[in-house]
């Protein structure tokens, strides 16, 4: 989808103002939200690409102004509701309870195996790399153009590279295809390539930074040789 999340090259977002020494989490709720991600991914309720698609569907004004873990909350919540893991009415009811009683305790206990599972997911990860039949269609040095169309679902084809021409710099293994997995259409793995685009191709010679390029990873269906 053409969302405001697709920020590459958008102007007007203001200064970056980098800070050092920020804490990993700023509150207990951030820790809980963070842990919900590996916990639910481990259980297979949805996949990482669906989590990303959920982020993208956050109302644009909220997306641009809320904090990072609010984005996570949004997508975990909407994905859990979508998949029936959580009942929205129950969630609303429980939210009112904790809003009125902020110090009310969480339910106790639970299986000790849960913590071990979630910790294992964090420590081991889960690669999206897949073995597939066949060989990559393109090789290093091939000039390719990225498809210029505008799908409605989840995609990793940023708008700023659509229709643009670059050169393949790296050929990788096959990985889960986000345009399938993010839209609930299976893994459909495809080869991934790093395509290097001259800044002038992306932004035009007048505003492009001199002597610079962007390396962008594409899945094979995104590109055609030119």
Task: Report the site for another protein in 19-58 (rule: CB under 8 A).
Answer: 19-20, 22-29, 31-36, 38-40, 43, 52, 55, 57-58
Closest CA to 117 of 106, 108, 126: 126
- Rounded-to-integer distance, Cα 180 and Cα 154, Å: 8
Site string for another protein, 84-103 (x = CB under 8 A): -xxxxxxxx-xxxxxx--x-
140 lies in the site for another protein, by CB under 8 A: no
56 lies in the site for its own copies, by CB under 8 A: yes
> Do residues 159 and 10 lie in contact, with contact meaning Cβ atoms separated by under 8 Å?
no
> Do residues 38 and 190 lie in contact, with contact meaning Cβ atoms separated by under 8 Å?
no
Retrieve residue 161's tokens: 């590279």
Beta bridge partners of 197: 214
Q: Is 6 helix (H, G, I), strand (E, B) or coil?
A: coil
224 lies in the site for its own copies, by CB under 8 A: no
Among 8, 163, 186, 205, binds another protein (CB under 8 A): 8
Q: Which helix (H) or strand (E) holds 192?
A: strand 190-198
Binder of residue 103, out of its own copies, another protein, none (CB less than 5 to 8 A by kind): none
Task: Report the site for its own copies in 6-35 (rule: CB under 8 A).
Answer: 9-14
Retrieve residue 41's tokens: 């991914």
Among 95, 116, 120, 207, binds its own copies (CB under 8 A): 207
Which positions lie near its own copies, rule CB under 8 A? 1-4, 9-14, 56-57, 59-61, 64-65, 147-152, 159, 163, 202-207
């Amino acid at each position: 989808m053409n969302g405001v999340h697709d920020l590459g090259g958008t102007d007007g977002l203001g200064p970056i103002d980098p800070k050092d020494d920020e804490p990993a989490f700023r509150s207990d709720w951030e820790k809980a939200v963070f842990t919900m991600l590996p916990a639910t991914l481990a259980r297979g309720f949805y996949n990482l690409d669906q989590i990303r698609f959920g982020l993208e569907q956050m109302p644009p004004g909220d997306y641009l102004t809320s904090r990072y873990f609010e984005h996570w909350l949004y997508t975990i919540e909407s994905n859990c509701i979508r998949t029936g893991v959580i009942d929205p009415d129950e969630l609303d009811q429980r939210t009112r309870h904790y809003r009125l009683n902020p110090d009310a305790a969480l339910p106790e206990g639970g299986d000790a195996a849960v913590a071990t599972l979630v910790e294992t997911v964090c420590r081991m990860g889960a690669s999206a790399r897949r073995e597939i039949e066949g060989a990559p269609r393109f090789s290093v040095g091939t000039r390719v153009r990225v498809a210029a169309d505008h799908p409605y679902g989840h995609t990793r084809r940023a708008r700023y590279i659509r229709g643009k021409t670059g050169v393949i710099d790296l050929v990788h293994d096959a990985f889960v295809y986000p345009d399938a997995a993010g839209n609930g259409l299976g893994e459909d793995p495809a080869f991934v390539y790093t395509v290097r685009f001259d800044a002038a191709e992306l932004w035009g010679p007048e505003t492009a930074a001199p002597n610079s390029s962007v390396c962008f990873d594409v899945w094979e269906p995104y590109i055609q040789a030119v």
